[in-house]
Every structure is written in structure tokens, then in C-alpha cells.
Amino acid sequence: MQLKCNKIDLLNGVNTVLKAVSSRTTLPILQCILLQTTDSQLKLIGNDLELGIETKVNARIEENGSIALDARIFSEIVKKLPDNEVTIIVDGNNHTTIKCEKTKFNISGYPGNEFIQLPLIEKNNSFVINQSIFKEMIRQTIFSIALEEIRPVFTGELLEVKNQKFSIVSVDGYRVSTREAEIEEKTDDFKVIVPGKTLNEMHKILSQDEDELITIYYTDKHVLFEIDNTIVVSRLLEGEFPKYDQMFLMDYEIKANVDRKKMIMSLERAALITRENKKNPIKIEIKSNEMIITSNTEIGNVYEEIDIQKEGKEIIIAFNPKYLIDALKVIDDDYVDIQFTNSSNPCIIRKVDGDDFKYLILPIRLSS
């Protein structure tokens, strides 16, 4: 194998596929990136068997071939090379020479055919969405996936198309985060549960550019995301996703319209006093035109007042402040509506008179 390519292009490619290389495995081939020539491009692949990423880099191919190189060492070498043309030469014994200006590295690799290729995904079912919207939808929901694998489906997010609406949902047993968007093209209904790790990596890869599109293909075992020169293949999570939508259908009679940033600041101050003992809830009191947030622990107590617009009756309810702060922080709007029924049912933080985003949070039962 012999080729020449640009250092910046190569670095971008390597950084993209590196996200799918396992750092925890002890199997050397799984710690590698595959380099494989095509007609006029260098194909790079990382694959940890749950998540696989393939991308292509423009290259002048002088001799076809493939090689698997240790991802950590190869990526660090590429990162530190001068910003100039890079030459890669692999001999019959998998010895790899990487040259750039007056720098020359020799490292050993593994035969390309020992590398585990990405699974082949049938491209029967797909839909197309704007990259920047998909990126935003991930950011606004992924924070509430469960980190522990008590129920595996809680460690991923539901991606669902229903009646021309695309929604992403995460659930961790204490809260539900949902974000939805209209889709323009006619699309069949479907449901998949995608691992959180995959969506975290997708969030990094997706463009902010409002004109860039992504195609999402799905089977009953895998999802494939296609962007320009890059494809990301991920195993799906198996199991039944909780029926979260019924929880949004209760009669939420009480509504408070609140300044989002002021509420974050008040909650963060109230949380200072609870940090030592996470069991301490903060108490929220919705009065005529104000929200009163209080917290009382062995460290001391704090009292906060925020002006609000209220509908419905007064209420006292307690929460883990972190859950409220997490949701309020990913929202971009200046004001949000918060809805309540009573002190033992969840609250919903939502877009003012809208359904774009909805965060359901369970309360903590007050002992008194």
C-alpha cells in the first residue's frame, strides 16, 4: 500500500473514526483503525463491535492495500505531524512508514484482513432530517439517560417517527425528556432504541450547518447514520421502551410561566445547601405571583423568590434540584411553562404553549 494525502484531511478522518475505537478491550485488533485504499480515497474504519464508524479521505493512491494500525499511536502521530502532505507506505510485512517534511515514523501494523469490517445494513427503510436539528434534539434529551444498566433500554434513547413527527425520548425512572420535530418528506412510522454512547458520538459528528442533511437507515437490529463521506453503524438496544406518553396526559391544571435563567440561578443557590446530603429536596411553593424556593439542611437554610405568571391554584411540592436544573439548562427559550397537578404527581417543564420540548420530573414526597 502506498498513498499521499493532506495532513488536515487525514487528521479529521482519524478523529472521526477514533470515536468508535474501544479503549477498554485487550484484543489488539479492536484497538486499531483500518486504513484501506479505494480508487481515489483512503477509507478509515473504527469498530468496537457495538458502534462502527467509516469515513473517506481524499488521497492519491499509488498502490492499493490495507493495514490496521494502533489507533492511539497512529492518531497521535497524525496530530503532531507538520500541516503538509503525508506519505504512507506499507510493505509486505505490515511495516508502515509515515513521512511528512523532514519527519519519518516506522511502526508495525496488522494485516487489514484481520480487522472486523462493519456489518452490512440493508438500506430498505430510511428517513432524512436536518443535521443541526438532530444535533439539537440529542443535546436536549441525552442528559437524562440512565448511566447504570439496571434496565438496558434506559441507557439509550427512543427515536420514533409517528404521524410525520420525529421524536427523541430518554427516561431514567425519575424523569422523561422529550423533543420533537416535524419532518417534511413522507416517512413511514418506526421506533428504534439507540444506545446513548452512539448518540453522544453522533452529537459530536453532526454539523451545526442548517443546510446539511443526514439519512437514517434502520433494520430491526441496527441503525445506520449517513453524512457526506461518513457512515456510523450502531447496534440497537433490545427491549420494550416505557409507555411514557400516558404520563403527559394527566390534568395539569396549575401552570407557572417562569424566567428560565432566574430559576436556574435560584435552584443552584438552593442546591448549594443540599450538596452534602443529596437526599435533601428543595421545596417549591407556587403562590399568586411568585415562586418561593426553600431548602433547609444541617448546613443552614436558603430562601429564594422569583416573580411568575400563574394559572390555577397554589401548590407546595419538592424536587431533587438537579433534575430541574438539568432540564432548564438545555432549553434555549427565555421563558418556560411549568405545569403541576398536586404535590405527589410529576411536574412538566415545556415550551410556552408548545410541544417542541417536554420534561417530566417526579417529585420527592415531603415527610411532613
Q: Which residues form the interface with a second copy (CB under 8 A)? A: 73, 76-77, 80-82, 102-108, 265-266, 268-269, 272-273, 299-306
Q: Least distance (Å) from a second copy to the CB of residue 300?
A: 4
- Cβ neighbour number for residue 188 with a 10 Å cutoff: 8
Q: Quick one: angle between helices 196-205 and 131-139, nearest 10?
A: 130
Q: Least distance (Å) from a second copy to the CB of residue 316?
A: 18
Specify the residue, 80 or 162, whose C-beta has the smaller distance to a second copy.
Answer: 80
Q: Least distance (Å) from a second copy to the CB of residue 328?
A: 15
Q: Least distance (Å) from a second copy to the CB of residue 364?
A: 22
Specify the residue, 196 or 281, whose C-beta has the smaller distance to a second copy.
Answer: 281
Cα separation, 167 vs 217, whole angstroms: 16
Residue 338 host element (H or E) = strand 335-340
Specify the residue, 163 or 288, whose C-beta has the smaller distance to a second copy.
Answer: 288
Specify the residue, 235 or 269, whose C-beta has the smaller distance to a second copy.
Answer: 269
Q: Least distance (Å) from a second copy to the CB of residue 114?
A: 19
Residue 79 host element (H or E) = helix 71-80
Specify the residue, 212 or 326, whose C-beta has the smaller distance to a second copy.
Answer: 326
Cα separation, 177 vs 361, whole angstroms: 9
Could you tell me the end-to-end alpha-carbon distance of the chain, in angstroms, rounded to an integer? 74
Grid-cell match 405571583, residue found: 289
Specify the residue, 138 or 256, whose C-beta has the smaller distance to a second copy.
Answer: 256
Task: Report DSSP state, residue 364.
Answer: B
Contact between 90 and 235 under an 8 Å Cβ cutoff? The reply is no
Q: Least distance (Å) from a second copy to the CB of residue 18?
A: 15
Cell numbers for 49:
463491535
Specify the residue, 12 or 297, whose C-beta has the smaller distance to a second copy.
Answer: 297
Cell numbers for 280:
435533601
Burial 48-75 (b: 16+ CB within 10 A, else e): beebbbbbbbebebeeebbbbbbbeebb
- Cβ neighbour number for residue 123 with a 10 Å cutoff: 12
Q: Least distance (Å) from a second copy to the CB of residue 54?
A: 25
